[in-house]
Chain A
């Protein structure tokens, strides 16, 4: 294990170089700032897709509530930014200056206690990771130790996403309601709405995404990753071998939640607002399809899948909005029935042999066993 451990094999290293080239060189130079900002927004969804590759692809746990964690991360960031934008000077026309505008509209005269700590940036950064992870831990602890899994888990995570959406919309005075938290301006005095700031945020986002990718790849390559796959395929055998299956599941679910939350926070920074429409059931399931289109077993596939689906969504909604839902529906059905391993699966079947031959002409040693092509087996 120790001797043969390498984070990437040769073809995966090539993918990484291509991806980094694409995110950091091709896209920033090839697109204007408006489009680049859109790509940045898509890439924040890719965090969720990465989490799902770990949780669903490797671990076999399908969560339909990832929007919950994306949203919690995003809302934590938005609360900090909103408080910074709501200085007493900026809000002096309100009946209570110094609180966010939507609170004033809802006749709230005092900042609620849970908003108070979000004056501090270090606390906010901690909360972005800690709050969603905490919720994931509670949900995971309750579900997995009682051996609830499969479709039941999927339905219950979906219910949680629904609960949070209803709560946010219902408690308008505390959360901004259906409009969400809007009109975010500065981060520690730095205006996030300028083009320069958007460039910087895009690169920070790309860097974080690559970091999360490396972390996820590390987990997949070490012993834990192998245990996850084993657990997906034969849960009982892993349990009988003396491992605590529930703890494994809780860990991977929490990790997926934390990664999604980072995406949510970056979303708020780049897009400039956060609203319940990125939390509920529909966005949560859409995030699953990003991952499924890219290939639920492939980290790189998940990122490309996210970009592709979102690109298609933007193009369709600009040109033929009524066709989009048909296309999306067909995508769901097609990806499940015909290409269960998504783009990555297609690549492995058709393109990889050719690429491998090309690589072998250049180098001498053959590729080591490709761990990413663990036999595609439907969950359950």
Chain B
């Protein structure tokens, strides 16, 4: 399949597809980060994660409308405010859900899966009732439009770069939160040994609620970033949820580095195969490979070395 192209063309193809892969990678990382915190640290399967992301997207959409209506002067920077709003909205909903539902189910992980699936159905229908079944898109500020020409044939869209920078900064923030802050230390202590963590005076219930809230909040930010590269519909979250779970499991559930590495591998594989085969075959091949590797190495690529 490579013989029809010259070397230079092949190089450009891979550069372009690589960049398309990087956009997919950003979405995967942002979604998977929240999921990895919730699943990896708490062992909770949150099937409604996609809907938390979509909540963030809708909040951004509302902010965009609000700003263009009342504060057109500040429109160029509305996105940053929208992101914060998305984080707060999704995080608050997440904490509410944890309080009402998840905390009763910590000992039954398979049941959280079913319950959160029910939650996702309810949220989907809520979005459909409130925002309509049609997909909505936000207005991107002018400075994010356009593309940077890199060489004659390779061009890079600015909003793609923006989303990528956003991804990197959020990842760094999560790293500091998890590994350099007091809260992160508490979360990791609770994960490793809940009873002991409680015994040394960590409020495990509060830690759980905060962890869940922050995980959902990051999903909200992911949704916010998602509006920059695609439009939002009530069921858009469901499309990504299985992929994201595979990303998290493939990377090793409790390792942030693993999550990023696996998101990178999966998204790059998918977008480079996509150019040569059809999109659906690319997806089938990637998923099959991932599942195949998971069968050989069920603990994922990167594992935390803890004595069980």
Residues of chain A at the chain B interface (Cβ within 8 Å)? 62, 64, 142-143, 146-148, 150-152, 154-156, 158-160, 162-163, 166-167, 169-171, 281-282, 285, 288-289, 292, 322, 325-326, 328-333, 335-337, 340, 378-380
Residues of chain B at the chain A interface (Cβ within 8 Å)? 43, 45, 101, 104-105, 107-115, 117-122, 124-125, 128-129, 238, 242, 245-246, 249, 278-281, 283-284, 287-288, 290-291, 294-296, 298
Q: Are A328 and B121 in contact (CB under 8 A)?
A: yes
User: Can you report 8 A-B residue pairs in the complex whose CB atoms are below 8 A from each other?
Assistant: A152-B294, A285-B117, A325-B121, A325-B122, A329-B119, A330-B122, A331-B118, A337-B115
Q: Which residue of B lies closest to A292 (CB)?
A: B114
Q: Which of B105, B110, B129, B298 contacts A147 (CB under 8 A)?
A: B298
In the complex where A158-B242, A337-B105 touch, is A326 in contact with B287 (Cβ < 8 A)? no
Q: Which of B109, B128, B295 contacts A151 (CB under 8 A)?
A: B109
In the complex where A151-B45, A156-B291 touch, is A329 in contact with B125 (Cβ < 8 A)? yes
Q: Which of A142, A288, A336 contacts B295 (CB under 8 A)?
A: A142
Q: Are A150 and B295 in contact (CB under 8 A)?
A: no
Closest chain-B Cβ to A333's Cβ sits at a distance in Å of 4
In the complex where A163-B287, A167-B284, A322-B128 touch, is A336 in contact with B246 (Cβ < 8 A)? no
Q: Are B115 and A336 in contact (CB under 8 A)?
A: yes
- State the CA gap A171–B281 with chains docked (Å): 8
- State the CA gap A147–B4 with chains docked (Å): 45
Chain B residues, Cβ within 8 Å of A322:
125, 128-129
Closest chain-A Cβ to B30's Cβ sits at a distance in Å of 19
In the complex where A170-B278, A337-B104 touch, is A151 in contact with B287 (Cβ < 8 A)? no
Q: Are A329 and B291 in contact (CB under 8 A)?
A: no
Q: Are B284 and A163 in contact (CB under 8 A)?
A: yes
Chain A residues, Cβ within 8 Å of B120:
329
Q: Are A330 and B118 in contact (CB under 8 A)?
A: yes
Number of inter-chain CB pairs below 8 Å: 128
- State the CA gap A162–B298 with chains docked (Å): 19
- State the CA gap A331–B279 with chains docked (Å): 36
Chain B residues, Cβ within 8 Å of A335:
114
Chain A residues, Cβ within 8 Å of B118:
328-333, 336
Chain B residues, Cβ within 8 Å of A167:
280, 284
Q: Are A162 and B242 in contact (CB under 8 A)?
A: yes
Q: A155-B245, A159-B287, A163-B288 are in contact. List 19 more A-B contacts (CB 8 A).
A: A152-B294, A155-B246, A155-B249, A163-B287, A170-B284, A325-B121, A325-B124, A329-B118, A329-B122, A330-B118, A333-B101, A336-B111, A336-B112, A336-B114, A336-B115, A336-B118, A337-B101, A337-B115, A380-B107
Q: Which of B111, B121, B128 contacts A329 (CB under 8 A)?
A: B121
* Chain A interface main SS type: helix
Closest chain-A Cβ to B198's Cβ sits at a distance in Å of 21
- State the CA gap A289–B291 with chains docked (Å): 25
Chain B residues, Cβ within 8 Å of A340:
111
- State the CA gap A26–B63 with chains docked (Å): 58
Closest chain-B Cβ to A222's Cβ sits at a distance in Å of 26
Q: Which residue of B lies closest to A167 (CB)?
A: B284
Closest 4 CB pairs of A and B: A332-B118, A170-B280, A329-B122, A329-B121
Q: Are A151 and B298 in contact (CB under 8 A)?
A: no
Chain A residues, Cβ within 8 Å of B296:
146
Q: Are B291 and A159 in contact (CB under 8 A)?
A: yes
- State the CA gap A25–B287 with chains docked (Å): 47
Q: Which residue of B lies closest to A335 (CB)?
A: B114
Q: Which of A170, A329, A333, A380 contacts B110 (CB under 8 A)?
A: A380
Q: Are A150 and B246 in contact (CB under 8 A)?
A: no
Q: Which residue of A lies closest to B295 (CB)?
A: A142
Q: Are A151 and B113 in contact (CB under 8 A)?
A: yes
Chain B residues, Cβ within 8 Å of A169:
280
Chain B residues, Cβ within 8 Å of A171:
280
Chain B residues, Cβ within 8 Å of A156:
249, 291, 294-295
Q: Are B242 and A166 in contact (CB under 8 A)?
A: no
Chain B residues, Cβ within 8 Å of A159:
242, 245-246, 287, 290-291
Closest chain-B Cβ to A145's Cβ sits at a distance in Å of 10
Q: Are A332 and B117 in contact (CB under 8 A)?
A: yes
In the complex where A158-B242, A159-B291, A332-B114 touch, is A325 in contact with B125 (Cβ < 8 A)? yes
In the complex where A163-B288, A325-B122, A330-B122 touch, is A336 in contact with B105 (Cβ < 8 A)? yes
Chain B residues, Cβ within 8 Å of A288:
114
Chain A residues, Cβ within 8 Å of B105:
336-337
- State the CA gap A57–B278 with chains docked (Å): 40
- State the CA gap A282–B287 with chains docked (Å): 18
Q: Which residue of A lies closest to B109 (CB)?
A: A151
- State the CA gap A380–B105 with chains docked (Å): 12
- State the CA gap A151–B242 with chains docked (Å): 13
Chain B residues, Cβ within 8 Å of A282:
238
- State the CA gap A147–B297 with chains docked (Å): 11
Q: Are B114 and A289 in contact (CB under 8 A)?
A: yes
Q: Which residue of A lies closest to B300 (CB)?
A: A152
- State the CA gap A378–B106 with chains docked (Å): 11
Chain B residues, Cβ within 8 Å of A379:
108, 110-111
- State the CA gap A169–B290 with chains docked (Å): 20
Q: Are B295 and A154 in contact (CB under 8 A)?
A: no
- State the CA gap A150–B290 with chains docked (Å): 18
Q: Are A332 and B115 in contact (CB under 8 A)?
A: yes
Closest chain-B Cβ to A175's Cβ sits at a distance in Å of 11
In the complex where A169-B280, A281-B242 touch, is A160 in contact with B111 (Cβ < 8 A)? no
Q: Are B122 and A326 in contact (CB under 8 A)?
A: yes
Chain A residues, Cβ within 8 Å of B290:
159
In the complex where A152-B298, A156-B294, A332-B118 touch, is A166 in contact with B284 (Cβ < 8 A)? yes
Closest chain-B Cβ to A178's Cβ sits at a distance in Å of 11
Chain B residues, Cβ within 8 Å of A147:
298
Chain A residues, Cβ within 8 Å of B245:
155, 158-159
